[in-house]
Structure 1
Amino acid sequence: MTTITCVQGDITEQHVDAIVNAANSSLLGGGGVDGAIHRKGGPDILTACRALRAAHYGKGLPTGQAVATPAGRLPARWVIHTVGPVFQVSGGGDESLLASCYRESLRVADELGARTVAFPAISTGVYRWPMEEAARIAVETVRGTETLVEEVRFVLFDERAYEAFAAQVG
């Protein structure tokens, strides 16, 4: 059974097998968690992402999918990149795509043999997903996904995110 924990902190400092990156579809870095992972992990991550783009994802990684690269200078072994859906204020968001980010990341983690995985709050930054709803979807999806991962650690940058996820974990 997978243990689910929450910590407030910096995902780039987590000593886990795999860190999940809330990437953009280009896989070439960006802001928020994505930018922090690329900056701290160094050029090896970008090199691996460019190779993935050239070989398999010429049009970018589709929303809800996940793919792994080495973690460069991060204390993890791998970075699992996933593209979350954008929440539209007028129309909401596709919960199934957000859930797919977590499910597909766990599938990739299983393929890698990762036993500890750190997740950020996917889609809650510039993609505007409401924090409480995102936390509910994330925790329900992790709990409902069959995986060999022993620990899922939600690493939340601020107190508001931590409280929303901790309330769901219980």
Structure 2
Amino acid sequence: MIEVIQGDITKASLDCIVNAANTSLLGGGGVDGAIHRAGGKQILDECIRIRNAQGNCPTGEAVLTTGGRLHAKYVIHTIGPVWNGGQSHEPEKLSSCYRNTLNLAVEKGIKSIAFSNISTGIYGFPKDKAAEVALKTVADFIEKNATIERVQFVCFDRDNYDIYLERLRIS
């Protein structure tokens, strides 16, 4: 049910991929920019509509758009926390990203979902701590809610891939 792969999340062929977005929802660098570029203008147009209706998306929250030109039907955009040494409840905020994303997926009938490594890029969340939060939150959610049939953690870099594999073996 939970898999770890190394690769490019924009190539995932699951029902939904998860974007580590910024609060503006308008694309940016890293995985956010890659998803917007690969998915095309339709994703940005929906993000603009969402932002115009609700304003910026707060940290820990999630919104859904089409997958545009991606293989995935949907993209769930979630806003991870910026690491501040753990002094600003970053682990709890990161856990909220995963929970809110999975709740939205269940609400939309999504059965398979691919996560990027939320907050571990420019937001500076330590990769080992982020993997621990991600795997625990997702495992706890799936244990209580069997509607999600497949979860992939798509690690772009080797460091995250190795960390996720090790954490998955331990759990």
Q: How would you bin the TM-score normalised by the shorter chain?
A: over 0.9
* Identity percentage of aligned residues: 49
Shift of 1:80: 0.2
Over residues 135-167 of structure 1, what are the superposed CA-to-partner deviations in whole Å (9 max), with x where a residue is unaligned? 000000001113311111000001111011111
TM-score scaled by length of structure 1: 0.94
Where does residue 9 of structure 1 map in the other structure? 7
**Large movers: runs of 4+ above 3 Å:** 89-93
Amino acid in structure 1 at the alignment position of 2:13: H
Amino acid in structure 2 at the alignment position of 1:109: A
Where does residue 84 of structure 1 map in the other structure? 80
1:86–1:93 contact (8 Å) kept in structure 2 = no
Over residues 12-36 of structure 1, what are the superposed CA-to-partner deviations in whole Å (9 max), with x where a residue is unaligned? 0000000000000000000001000
Where does residue 112 of structure 2 map in the other structure? 116
Where does residue 26 of structure 1 map in the other structure? 24
Amino acid in structure 2 at the alignment position of 1:167: E
Q: How does 1:1-170 map to 2 (within 5 A)?
A: 3-56=1-54, 58=55, 60-89=56-85, 91=87, 94-145=90-141, 146-147=144-145, 148-170=147-169
2:80–2:119 contact (8 Å) kept in structure 1 = yes
2:84–2:90 contact (8 Å) kept in structure 1 = no
TM-score scaled by length of structure 2: 0.94
**Alignment partner of 1:153: what SS?**
strand
Deviates more, 1:142-151 or 1:31-40: 142-151
Shift in CA distance, 119/90, structure 1 to aligned 2, threshold 3 Å: closer
Q: Unpaired runs of 5+ in structure 2? A: none
Q: Unpaired runs of 5+ in structure 1? A: none
CA distance in 1, matches of 2:16, 2:60: 18
Shift of 1:89: 4.0
Shift in CA distance, 79/90, structure 1 to aligned 2, threshold 3 Å: closer
CA distance in 1, matches of 2:126, 2:86: 13
CA distance in 1, matches of 2:86, 2:3: 33
Shift in CA distance, 6/130, structure 1 to aligned 2, threshold 3 Å: same
Aligned-residue Cα RMSD (Å) equals 1.2
2:63–2:77 contact (8 Å) kept in structure 1 = yes
CA distance in 1, matches of 2:89, 2:123: 10
